[in-house]
Structure 1
Amino acid sequence: MKIILLVFLFIFLNNFITKVECSDCQYFNPIVNQPYNLSSLKLIPDLKYTVAFPSTNLSSTSFETYFNFCNGTLNICNVTGATACQSIGIFQLGSIDVGETVNYTSSGMTIVYRSKIFQPITGNDCSDAPEPNRRKTSFVFSCNPNIPKLNVTAPGLEIQRCTYGVQIDTSLVCRDCPLNCSQPHGTCNRVTGECECDSQTNGKGCELSRIYINSVDSTTINGGTTYLHGYFGIYNTTTTTTSQRLSIKIGELQCKNIQVINDSTIQCDIGPGEGIKDVTIIDMDISYTGKQIFQYTKIKHSCPNDCTSSSNGICNTDSGICTCINGFTGFNCNSQDSNPDAPSSKPNINETTGEASISNDGSNYQISIYSLVELNFNGSTVNEFLLSNKWNKTNNNNNTNNDNNRIVVFSQFISNASCTIEYSIEEVIGKNKNYSFAGVNFTLSPGSLKLTVSIQNYTYHSTLNSIQLRIKSSLGDYNNSNNNSNGNKNCNAKKLDINTNDFKNDQSLNYLTISKDSKTFYGRFINKVISDGRETFMSTSIVGQRTDSILIGLNLPHCKTCLIDPDFSLLVDQDYKTSCDDDDSRPKWFLPVVIVAPAVGAAIIIIIGSIIYKRHRVGIRILKQKIKLENRQQ
């Protein structure tokens, strides 16, 4: 029973896929998922299609074949219900009673007509045909987009005895393309059903934009000429054509005088403004928006906390960076640099986990590259790849540079995004070191850590998306005691404070501080990234914050290779005490009073004695003489 059912199922499916009868001239090719409508080919009975069959070895006489479609009958055949017939003897080639059979292929379809069983006539005997006593005609339909109805491409061919073939070209069996290829961005190959997209789109229906921006040149708040870099496709650089199809907005302002330099660079002029702006490029019906990627730079920059005071540092208004003086250091010159008794900071790199830390007198600050996140246009997470504790050390020996600073290099491959991340950590030891990144010059003091992170060949889900690198920072103690190495528990003890007030994307640098026990950890994030070899603006954001940790997001453009350069330091505050008494319960006036009171009392006694002596000195002399006489008499 099971075998019978399987055979029946096989026959049913085979007929469904390859042999489907016409239903009101509507056909469906399941191989290419394409409907065909041949209703326009059906003729009234008085009309006919004609194809000539030359004489062959199988038939010594040439003849013509008349035919119709969609079970349309022909009056010329003089046979009731005939859909096709031969001109010689008006032999029937196709009959409504027998019906048509349809075979589908990837390039079209074939409609097969069969005649009724007939009594052979001398000279027209089909008893030895592949289907005895039947005539069979196959109409092979092929796609030709330029033929609205049909065209018989060659004379008919008698393939075997009483078996004929007719080749027909028509657009009615051409394939449709997905989304009509999002015209005008694509053209449809009607033969294959595939789109041929222009240089700005891809996807099966040319529905996916390929254009993106990976960097934008900043202007001052006065505006001016800016350059957009990325991929924009091949344009007709005629000014009229470009201005008609292309528009660029920076914030709410339209960019003017647009010039397409090449497929990767566009130039335009933008008006004055301030702050951080989105950049949107619109090309006909496709667009791309880079979120917060353009910066109006200030002509003069302010420095963090005004470098504390004029005695601590001098503000460089061109860069917004403090130059510390008089033995102070730190991004705002609020930390000691000249106190020989202050504890020093010690950087450390964990070669197993890839994490780094800076320790100082009981405090330990940890830094880790936490995750890489792909964000869509609305800022929602598309994918997040956790990176912590997955790093591989790539330099076998600990490299050192000319400053004897230790450098360790790590890497990680994200298979789901075909992306490689490399980052190096440098321990700054011994003396200050000067650095330069993306046109920003800065100095790191001993005990600092400098990171360089490279993200390469990330595969985006969409060109509209961007990526964000997240760095986690946290502060804790070496042990359960709050005492430092000198036992100075009380005089330096301060609560943990995470300060992000100097996270200002309109400046050239962003600063994070974590303070505790008169020591401050600094995280410095330059608001620039090297994107595909060019400097461009990068914003920084606070992703999450807890009591003792913070998660920083570096918002990167749509780049193939992104290079960023954060650094970290742990410095001693200027009010740090190297020693203090064990008992801090005494009020602040206790020591001054203890020291000053005895001295003041002694002075008062001396003054009073002098006054008494001056007033009674005559009596004192008489008393002295009297005492001397009494002593002599004895």
Structure 2
Amino acid sequence: MLFISINSTYLTLNTSIIIYYYPLVTSINEVTETQPHVTIYGNFGSFNINNNNDSTSIKPGLANITIDIDGSIYTSTKDLNIVPLVIEDQCGDHSLCSGNGYCYKRRCVCSKGYGGFICESQINQESKILPDDSLPSAVITSTTERFDISIVSIQELDYNDHIVKDVLTPSWTPIIPINQSIHQYSFKHDGYIEVIATLQTTTNMSIQTIFAGTAITLDTNTLKVSIAINGWRYRSNLNTLRVVMKVDSEYQHIKSCIEPSLTNGTSPYDNNLQFIRLNYNGSALYGSFLPVGLSDGRPFYSFNQLINVSSSSPAGTHGNSTSSTSYIGINMPQCRQCVIDPNFNILVDHADGSSNTACLDAQSATSISFDTWKIVTIVVVCGVALAATITGAIVYFKRNANVKLERKRIETRLKQLNI
């Protein structure tokens, strides 16, 4: 953004001009390792794409791309995702999705009332979803668990994933509710950034929808969170955005030898976070992430990551409860409007911890919590664009090197603001 000030006998002017960077990529179509054609959207005029790899195919995973137009450079290591020609089946034993769904394009589609990565658990129909009146956050509760889901920060990252701008989002303005199941909130910053968050609860019926070209089924007792970021003014054409969401979890102990646990799964070829599981005594919050988003209305590749997890026993509880905080990062390229779309619910496994049998020893209980998980669904999407000369080099996630540093920084900053 460029500020202009003119003072003369005939004119006084103080204004700002929005600068759109050149070259710039905002979205790119999905590419397989043998696909010869790539479609790129952005601001770059016309150019040729060269494959600098000597082989006829490019290795799966994140690839390095570069656009050079008369000396003006756009380069990225996190926009272009090469999809393997053959993807491992992720539908469980014998591709049966635990007998509670069916396998479609190597992923499970669960039958009504079931959830989890391989449809292994039932959705808890007794859980309650309580949206906040003033903030785009919601509490999901069951008999022994409470999960508080919120948006805490929007960050601008440079090429090396260092944070160059960090906008915390503690204050929102509620918008008049559309109906009892849909709540909207507005957040404005610096006079030009606007974020619209929408919370939708599906308490009485399931909903089928499509986001970024991906079919999504929202079962009953699901929280759907849509976040649209408009008007962000980037400091460089190489910078990107990341939304940070927080899940505060609290568990009431009913068996002293069972402790809460968290597990997560990542894609085998690009390390993208696929799901998280916050488990305790037969129920869990499950987060499932799609590696796509919307940038200016077009699908883009989104890298999701678990930034940090911490746990403690709240003061005054005398060991009767345990709490934990998880931070999840949703990355997106540059866009004028970026959209993400997470969904949440609580799943339950009646075979795990719900009976009145004697408490298992700690080792067995920990093993069960890893084997019989259940949860909430977070489907994430955001928007942005990418473009470039494909070098075919696999970039093995440089951002992991900065994760530890970011964990400390985020925790310190949020504690200072009592978030």
For 2:54 and 2:126, the matched residues in 1 are separated by 54
Secondary structure, counterpart of 1:223 in structure 2:
coil
Does the CA contact (< 8 Å) of 2:23 and 2:69 recur in 1? no
For 1:350 and 1:530, the matched residues in 2 are separated by 26
Match in the other structure for 1:312? 99
> Is the counterpart of residue 411 in structure 1 residue 186 in structure 2?
yes
Secondary structure, counterpart of 2:159 in structure 1:
coil
Change (3 A) 1:585 1:390: closer
Match in the other structure for 1:397? 177
Change (3 A) 1:564 1:354: closer
Match in the other structure for 2:341? 565
Change (3 A) 1:509 1:212: same
Secondary structure, counterpart of 2:215 in structure 1:
strand
For 1:326 and 1:562, the matched residues in 2 are separated by 30
Change (3 A) 1:457 1:343: closer
Does the CA contact (< 8 Å) of 2:95 and 2:103 recur in 1? no
Does the CA contact (< 8 Å) of 1:346 and 1:447 recur in 2? yes
For 1:274 and 1:446, the matched residues in 2 are separated by 37
- Aligned counterpart for 2:64 among listed residues 278, 281, 289: 278
Change (3 A) 1:274 1:365: same
- How do 1:147-546 and structure 2 match up within 5 A? 210-233=22-45, 253=53, 271-302=57-88, 304=90, 306=92, 310=96, 311-318=98-105, 320-324=106-110, 328-336=114-122, 344-387=126-169, 389-394=170-175, 396-397=176-177, 399-400=179-180, 406-415=181-190, 418-477=192-251, 481-483=252-254, 489=255, 494-502=258-266, 506=270, 510-546=274-310
Quote the offset at 1:574 in angstroms. 4.3
Gaps of at least 5 residues in structure 1 are 1-201, 236-241, 256-269, 401-405, 484-488, 587-634
Tell me whether 377-386 or 278-287 shows the greater mean CA deviation. 278-287
Quote the offset at 1:360 in angstroms. 1.1
Match in the other structure for 1:178? none
Structure having the higher strand fraction is: 2
1:160-196 per-residue CA deviation (whole Å, 9 max, x = no partner) reads xxxxxxxxxxxxxxxxxxxxxxxxxxxxxxxxxxxxx
State the AA in 1 paired with 2:253. Answer: N
Greater gyration radius: 1
Does the CA contact (< 8 Å) of 2:241 and 2:333 recur in 1? yes
State the AA in 1 paired with 2:72. Answer: I
Secondary structure, counterpart of 2:183 in structure 1:
strand
Quote the offset at 1:455 in angstroms. 0.7
State the AA in 2 paired with 1:352. Answer: S
For 1:303 and 1:347, the matched residues in 2 are separated by 33
State, as a whole percentage, how many aligned pairs show the same letter.
22
Change (3 A) 1:313 1:299: farther
Quote the offset at 1:410 in angstroms. 1.0
Secondary structure, counterpart of 1:430 in structure 2:
coil
Change (3 A) 1:444 1:437: same
State the AA in 2 paired with 1:497. Answer: S
Q: What is the count of residue pairs matched by the alignment?
A: 331
Does the CA contact (< 8 Å) of 1:312 and 1:325 recur in 2? no
TM-score with structure 2 setting the length: 0.70
Match in the other structure for 1:48? none
Change (3 A) 1:415 1:475: same
Secondary structure, counterpart of 1:495 in structure 2:
coil
Change (3 A) 1:248 1:476: farther
Match in the other structure for 2:5? none
For 2:187 and 2:84, the matched residues in 1 are separated by 38
For 2:220 and 2:198, the matched residues in 1 are separated by 17
For 1:379 and 1:584, the matched residues in 2 are separated by 45
For 1:444 and 1:556, the matched residues in 2 are separated by 23
Secondary structure, counterpart of 2:289 in structure 1:
strand
Quote the offset at 1:355 in angstroms. 1.2
Change (3 A) 1:525 1:471: same
Quote the offset at 1:444 in angstroms. 2.4
For 1:451 and 1:327, the matched residues in 2 are separated by 20
Quote the offset at 1:576 in angstroms. 3.5
Change (3 A) 1:331 1:430: farther
For 2:157 and 2:272, the matched residues in 1 are separated by 24
1:595-614 per-residue CA deviation (whole Å, 9 max, x = no partner) reads xxxxxxxxxxxxxxxxxxxx
Quote the offset at 1:471 in angstroms. 0.9
Quote the offset at 1:313 in angstroms. 4.0
Gaps of at least 5 residues in structure 2 are 1-17, 312-323, 362-419
TM-score with structure 1 setting the length: 0.48
Change (3 A) 1:363 1:307: farther
For 1:424 and 1:254, the matched residues in 2 are separated by 47
State the AA in 2 paired with 1:412. Answer: F
